[in-house]
Amino acid sequence: MIGSFHWKKKTKKVAFTSNPFLSRVGWQSILCTSYHNIHASPILHVVPTLATCVYPLKMNSVKALAESPDLNHIPSIYAYSVNSTELPASDLQDAIPTIDFSLLTSADPDLRSQMIRELDTACKDWGFFQVINHGVPEALMNKVIEKSAEFFDLTDDEKNEFEDKGVLDPIRYGTSFNTKKDGILYWRDFLKVIIHPDFHYPNKPSGFREVLMEYSKRTREVVKGLLSGISTSLGLDQAYVEKALKLESSLQILVVNLYPPCPQPELAMGLPPHSDHGLLTLLINNGVSGLQIKHKGKWVNVNNDLPNSFLVNTADQHQIFSNEKYKSVEHRAIVNNAVKRLSVAMANGPSPDTAVEPAYKLLTEERCKRAYNPMKYKEYVEMQQSNKLDGKTCLDKVRV
């Protein structure tokens, strides 16, 4: 990667090594003309780098970097340039839809029908909603956050036991998204664990295993209930999605994201715009805001105002299976300079070996044109995880 530097009052081209931590930083400042402040309005920034900071030879954690003493500026490799079409975020004008899970699964057909209509609107207009009264104990949700935070507080050696060795590795600890492809680094460390259909778990911290096993079971029940409502709202039998996508062996991946405080949050990005690969993602966090979604073409901040709720977003397999009646929602995570943010995204998809394509019944009964070719879900996951995270571009690879 080549950057344009303003060094000793002269602009010159300097080559970065692909891993910025393998070389010492000797320059004084970088002139960045293309950055837009993602929190507010477009702005011109000069980003000084860490002229005097000496990095450890190998650093694969932004947490370790953020904890270095006297960190006032971000290293240039973290500087994120916002495309001019990516408008700055504003607060939400409309309220995010809320789905009451107890009504959706109610034995009263009128209450259930009303919730299904609301679910249909939420999927069509937002791709994003909050779920309340879902039956997952609040104490369990808190434990998931607590144990996840404890994982990141392990020593580097302990965490590196789970170092990311490839996209199909069942337990992956790493930084950014895909350092081989990202081009820059994102201000985020992650832990990804496949917890269903085969259950994997990191053996540290103690007690993580039990918490993950219970959380996997309880969240799959919520996903099953939501997808049965969505099946009905698509005009299919209640159990159609469950059967067609073989949800009894659904692929469930727990993704823990850690965004440490960042000295220049307006210049860095936690996770860039993307849609998720599965059907539905259930998100919780440690009470710190930072999630933004694209709603009606604009980036908006999502704040967690409902206690004990899940933030749910629709993902790519949802868009494929519904033949675009419902779209996956683009979202991103920004960072702040004050407090650590931790989010836990439970990605829920079809079974890994299912070739996902638009529901046959939707194509025949509604006489619509098929929008997507079939692709095995595990191949789709592999494709998304081994490339750069780039909006919704993965969907183009299966589009007819």
* Residue ranges that bind ligand AKG, judged by CB under 6 A: 255, 257, 271, 276, 283, 285, 291, 331, 333, 343, 345
Q: Which is nearer to ligand AKG, 21 or 80 (CB)?
A: 80
Q: Which is nearer to ligand AKG, 271 or 362 (CB)?
A: 271
Q: Which is nearer to ligand AKG, 220 or 331 (CB)?
A: 331
In the complex, minimum distance from the CB of residue 142 to ligand AKG, in angstroms, rounded to a whole number: 17
In the complex, minimum distance from the CB of residue 336 to ligand AKG, in angstroms, rounded to a whole number: 12
Closest CA to 384 of 229, 251, 283: 251
In the complex, minimum distance from the CB of residue 332 to Fe ion, in angstroms, rounded to a whole number: 8
Burial of 104 (0-12, 13-18, 19+ CB in 10 A): buried
In the stretch 235-274, what mask flags binding to Fe ion with x, by CB under 5 A?
----------------------------------------
| Residue 255 binding target from ligand AKG, Fe ion, none, CB below 5 to 8 Å by type | ligand AKG
Q: Which is nearer to ligand AKG, 104 or 389 (CB)?
A: 389
Chain position whose Cβ is nearest to ligand AKG: 343
Measured between alpha carbons, how far is 273 from 269 in angstroms, rounded to an integer?
A: 10
**What's the distance, CA 271 to chain centroid?**
7
Closest CA to 357 of 327, 318, 314: 318
Instruction: Answer for the pair 333, 311: CB distance below 8 angstroms, yes or no.
Output: no
Measured between alpha carbons, how far is 53 from 26 in angstroms, rounded to an integer?
A: 9
**DSSP letter string, 40-85:** SSB--EEEE--SS----S----HHHHHTSTT--S--GGG--PPPTT
Q: Which is nearer to ligand AKG, 229 or 270 (CB)?
A: 270
Residues 6+ apart with CB under 8 A from 238: 228, 231, 232
Measured between alpha carbons, how far is 381 from 18 in angstroms, rounded to an integer?
A: 25
In the complex, minimum distance from the CB of residue 299 to Fe ion, in angstroms, rounded to a whole number: 14
Measured between alpha carbons, how far is 278 from 283 in angstroms, rounded to an integer?
A: 13
316 is an interface residue for Fe ion by CB under 5 A: no
CA neighbours closer than 13 Å in the CB half-sphere of residue 98: 13
In the complex, minimum distance from the CB of residue 235 to ligand AKG, in angstroms, rounded to a whole number: 29
In the complex, minimum distance from the CB of residue 274 to Fe ion, in angstroms, rounded to a whole number: 6
Instruction: Answer for the pair 333, 257: CB distance below 8 angstroms, yes or no.
Output: yes
What are the angstrom distances between the C-alpha of 248 and each of 226, 351, 356?
A: 15, 8, 15
Q: Which is nearer to ligand AKG, 65 or 254 (CB)?
A: 254
Q: Binder to Fe ion among 276, 316, 330, 357 (CB under 5 A)?
A: 276
Q: Which is nearer to ligand AKG, 147 or 331 (CB)?
A: 331
Closest CA to 97 of 314, 392, 284, 298: 314
| Residue 385 binding target from ligand AKG, Fe ion, none, CB below 5 to 8 Å by type | none
Measured between alpha carbons, how far is 171 from 181 in angstroms, rounded to an integer?
A: 20
In the complex, minimum distance from the CB of residue 102 to ligand AKG, in angstroms, rounded to a whole number: 25
| Residue 266 binding target from ligand AKG, Fe ion, none, CB below 5 to 8 Å by type | none
Q: Which is nearer to ligand AKG, 21 or 190 (CB)?
A: 190
**In terms of DSSP H, where are the helices of the chain?**
62-66, 101-104, 109-125, 138-152, 156-160, 208-233, 240-244, 316-321, 360-365, 377-385, 393-396
User: How many residues bind to Fe ion according to rule CB under 5 A?
Assistant: 1
In the complex, minimum distance from the CB of residue 347 to Fe ion, in angstroms, rounded to a whole number: 8
Q: Which is nearer to ligand AKG, 234 or 312 (CB)?
A: 312
Residues that bind Fe ion (CB under 5 A): 276
